[in-house]
Amino acid sequence: MSKSPIKIGTRDSPLAQWQSKQVKQLLQYKSLESELVLIKSEGDINLTTPLYEMGVQGIFTKTLDTALLNDQIDIAVHSYKDIPTKLAKGLMIGAVLKRGNPFDVLVINRERVFTKEELSFNAGVFSQKKEKASVQITTEQMQKSFSGTLQENEQDATQNFSFKIATSSARRKAQLLYRFKNASIENLRGNVNTRLKKVSESIWHGAVFAAAGLERLGFGHLHTVELDWMLPAPAQGAIAIVCRENDIDAISYCEEINDKHSQICTQVEKDFLRVLMGGCSTPIGAYAIIKNEKIIFKGNILSPDGEKKVELEIERNIEDYKIIGALAAEEILGKGGKEIVEGLQKNSESHEE
């Protein structure tokens, strides 16, 4: 009697299905048959409220968690960054696939028409002395500004410019405002295809996307600028498989397709997030890499308005990976991060009232 195909639970967005098909293919290499089970999440239904205002952890994972616990599916595939630091009781991370590009990119709106007023580096100068408003920001300068390659004598023009950038991420918003004080941040929700369409139809200068998502869906050709100065979300670019703790079969075949280095680095980042009590509405960035048997970790936390930022970089032996994230978080809290966390908690409590 043949064994039933493994049921892979996935959101129905194009990116989620792409990720789940990668898992299906890896299982097939191990001679394991599987099938996709499409499930719509709460985060896919409400596309108008910014994620940082929804304040719900696991907005993209709860429905799949329920399906797992009810034995409707055998495993669930997620973008690891969407998974809460505390999983539902009875569930575990079974595997982390080899990580893709962890960074964010700015997709520049090529349809955007710059008016003369907008191109002026200082709107006040333009309104008072139109004839002298000769300094302008070109698309090339904008690219350089966002990539961090502007020369020192060019900084003033772009630092004071009112870029209109779209994102629903609290982390991206805070890091943008920290770097560009006069930026205007617009809300942008939906799957990758939907968001790209909204950008092209908007008057925004651009929008921030995860590089991995664009590359996986074949949008690597778009006019983008990699934001290597913007620390990514913990575990961004990684695909994780969640299974039941008591499902011995699922655990065993998850282990076969697990990428150990990706698992270690993302665990460090998630531990950092957990100790800082962060969720999708918290401006926390984290990135770990392994080099010469050492883990190099960078982390930060910002106030939502981008006015305050506390950051650090540490290097530890790889065998210490289970404690590195927590140690980094404690150091961040001691350097001023505690004040930001308390402010976030106070703001959250006032909204609940």
For the stretch 302-338, pLDDT in tens is 999 999 999 999 999 999 999 999 999 999 999 999 9
H/E segment holding residue 146: helix 139-147
Contact 169, 134 (CB under 8 A): no
Mean pLDDT of the chain: 84
273, two tokens? 């997030």
Please report the pLDDT score of residue 125 as a whole number: 35
pLDDT tens digits for 228-279? 999 999 999 999 999 999 999 999 999 999 999 999 999 999 999 999 986 5
52, two tokens? 């940082």
Question: Per-residue pLDDT for 54 more than 50?
Answer: no
| Least confident stretch, 13-22, 91-100, 144-153, 321-330 | 144-153
Radius of gyration of the chain (CA): 22
**DSSP conformation class of 291:** E
Question: Per-residue pLDDT for 58 more than 90?
Answer: no
Question: Per-residue pLDDT for 159 more than 80?
Answer: no
21, two tokens? 């098909």
300, two tokens? 């930060």
Alpha carbon distance 191, 185 (integer Å): 19
Select the CATH number that applies to the domain covering 1-97+238-258 from these four: 3.40.190.10, 1.20.1090.10, 3.60.15.10, 3.20.20.70.
3.40.190.10
Where residue 112 falls among pLDDT bands split at 50, 70, 90? low
3 state SS of 112: coil
Place domain 104-226 in its CATH homologous superfamily: Periplasmic binding protein-like II (3.40.190.10)
**Overall average pLDDT of the 200-215 stretch:** 93
**Overall average pLDDT of the 137-160 stretch:** 67
CATH T-level assignment (fold) for domain 259-346: Double Stranded RNA Binding Domain (3.30.160)
**Overall average pLDDT of the 139-145 stretch:** 76
| Least confident stretch, 35-49, 155-169, 316-330, 337-351 | 35-49
Distances (CA, A) of 243 to 85, 88, 146, 164, 346: 15, 11, 39, 41, 35
Alpha carbon distance 256, 246 (integer Å): 17
Please report the pLDDT score of residue 120 as a whole number: 45
Largest CA distance in the chain: 84
Q: Give the count of beta carbons closer than 10 Å to the beta carbon of residue 184.
A: 14
Please report the pLDDT score of residue 345 as a whole number: 81
Label residues 103-119 b or e (16+ Cβ within 10 Å = b): bbbbbbbeebeeeeebb
H/E segment holding residue 240: strand 239-244
Higher local confidence (pLDDT), 109 or 149: 109
Contact 186, 204 (CB under 8 A): yes
Residue owning tokens 């617009």: 186
Q: Where in the chain is the domain with CATH 3.30.160.40?
A: 259-346
Phi-psi region at 54: left, alpha or beta (left = phi > 0; alpha = psi -120 to 50)? alpha
Which residues sit opposite 9 in a β-bridge? 37, 76
Q: Where in the chain is the domain with CATH 3.40.190.10?
A: 1-97+238-258, 104-226
Alpha carbon distance 303, 234 (integer Å): 17
Where residue 353 falls among pLDDT bands split at 50, 70, 90? very low
Residue owning tokens 């270690």: 264
Strands 206-210 and 104-108 turn out to be antiparallel
Alpha carbon distance 174, 324 (integer Å): 25
Closest CA to 212 of 185, 192, 241, 183: 192
Residue owning tokens 């700015």: 106
Strands 104-108 and 224-226 turn out to be antiparallel
